[in-house]
Amino acid sequence: MEFTVSKSDLVRELGLSQGVVEKKTTIPILSNVLLEAADGKLTLTATDLELGIRSSCAARVTKKGAGTIPAKRFLDYVRLLPDADITVKFMDNHWANLTCGRSKTRIAGMSRESYPELPKRPEAIASLPAATLKAMIEKTIFAISSEESRFTLNGAQLILKPDAITLVATDGHRLALAEQAVELEGITGAYKALLPKKAMQEILKLSADAGADAQIEFSGDDNHLFFQFGDRLLMSRKLSGNFPDYERVLPKEHPHSVVLGRDDFKQTIDRVAQFSDERSRAIRLQATSGEVKIYSSLSETGESEESIPVEYKGPAVEIGFNASYMGDFLRALPESEAEFFFKDGQSAGEMRPNGAPDGSTYRYVVMPMRI
């Protein structure tokens, strides 16, 4: 195989593979990217057997064929080359010769026959707005559990309905739900799938690169989910198991609420949390007439208290929360104000945007802490 490709095209497409290829693996070829040259095009494939990505760029193909090469080393080297065309020629021993200007380099590759095949993409069942899915992932991904033993919580529940997309994530201590009204042709009833966190991270990258008006051709089979971004295909293995019945967690009523400025609320929490326990990150919120007090204390380091003026005339209520959980929501919130709903010191609190756009729902439920 021999082909010539521009440095900028190669760096761009190789960069997509870096979040997918295994850097520490007992299967060495999974650290490689598969290169296939034919018909004026270079196709790049990377996989860790759970996630796979395939993309392509224009190339002058002298001799068609396929080969694999270490993905990280290849990208790290190509980035250092001058902005010019790069010629790659694979030899019979699977080594690759790279030529760019006065630079000549040989890199050890591996046989294409050893590289795993990606599952075949079935016919698309829906077209999803890339910008919408990206925004929903940004509002939920931080609530995914990092405990590997809770594998059904290591991703988010994706629900497609004829008139809406819903994404829900929880780690058992908090729950984030984003829903957007959108017409989805081809969907009947409710399509549900568990989307792994790593796949969501790659969707964020691909969506950002695809542009504001891009559409994702979505499809799935019994074990995999497929997201087609133009010439780029992301494949992910589904998480197995049943996602919790999240609707039971959503509070049915909130007797009290206050509206707070997002930035002021976040900055206050950040300051007060400097005197919270490093493990629990516990702070107290106290709603009283006309203000919300936020405070924390540690006997060995000190204490901090701040108040934020609000319109509130209900009874005094004090609740303990994890400051990091509160901050995660406020950092993801696009709107400038958050509405905080609560009942009493033993019940979950909920935050929502104040003044969300029509057709958009964003709910964040946080369990209280005993302090």
Residues in the chain: 371
Residue at 82 is within a domain: yes
User: By the 8 A CB rule, do 97 and 86 touch?
Assistant: no
242 and 255 both lie in a single domain: no
User: From CA 216, how far away is CA 131, in angstroms rounded?
Assistant: 10
Going by C-alpha positions, the residue among 89, 100, 94, 106 that lies closest to residue 68 is 94
Helix 71-79 / helix 7-17 crossing angle, nearest 10 deg: 150
DSSP class of residue 280? T
274-301: average pLDDT? 92
132 and 243 both lie in a single domain: yes
pLDDT of 101: 93
pTM score, whole prediction: 0.93
Residue at 123 is within a domain: no
Strands of the sheet containing 51-58, edge to edge, are: 65-70, 32-38, 41-47, 51-58, 232-237, 224-229, 215-220, 126-129
53-80 pLDDT per residue, tens: 999 999 999 999 999 999 999 999 999 9
75 and 150 both lie in a single domain: no
105 and 199 both lie in a single domain: no
Structural domain tally of the chain?
3
Q: Which CA distances in Å does 199 have to 18, 29, 206, 240, 363?
A: 13, 21, 10, 15, 23
Paired tokens of 202: 């790659």
214 and 135 both lie in a single domain: yes
**Domain CATH for 358:** 3.10.150.10
pLDDT of 33: 97
pLDDT of 358: 84
Q: What are phi and psi of 140, to 5 degrees?
A: -130, -25
212 and 269 both lie in a single domain: no
Residue at 353 is within a domain: yes
230-255 pLDDT per residue, tens: 999 999 999 988 999 999 989 888 89
What is the residue whose two structure tokens read 């007439």?
A: 289
Final residue before a domain boundary, out of 70, 86, 114: 114
109 and 81 both lie in a single domain: yes
Final residue before a domain boundary, out of 55, 89, 114: 114
163 and 220 both lie in a single domain: yes
Residue at 271 is within a domain: yes
264 and 352 both lie in a single domain: yes
273 and 350 both lie in a single domain: yes
183 and 109 both lie in a single domain: no
pLDDT of 207: 95
pLDDT of 370: 83
Residue at 290 is within a domain: yes
Determine the structural domain holding residue 167 and report its residue range.
128-247
153-193 pLDDT per residue, tens: 999 999 999 999 999 999 999 999 999 999 999 898 899 99
pLDDT of 9: 96
Percent pLDDT > 90 in the chain is 87
Final residue before a domain boundary, out of 82, 114, 146: 114
Q: What are phi and psi of 287, to 5 degrees?
A: -95, 120
Paired tokens of 207: 């969506």
261-268: average pLDDT? 97
265 and 325 both lie in a single domain: yes
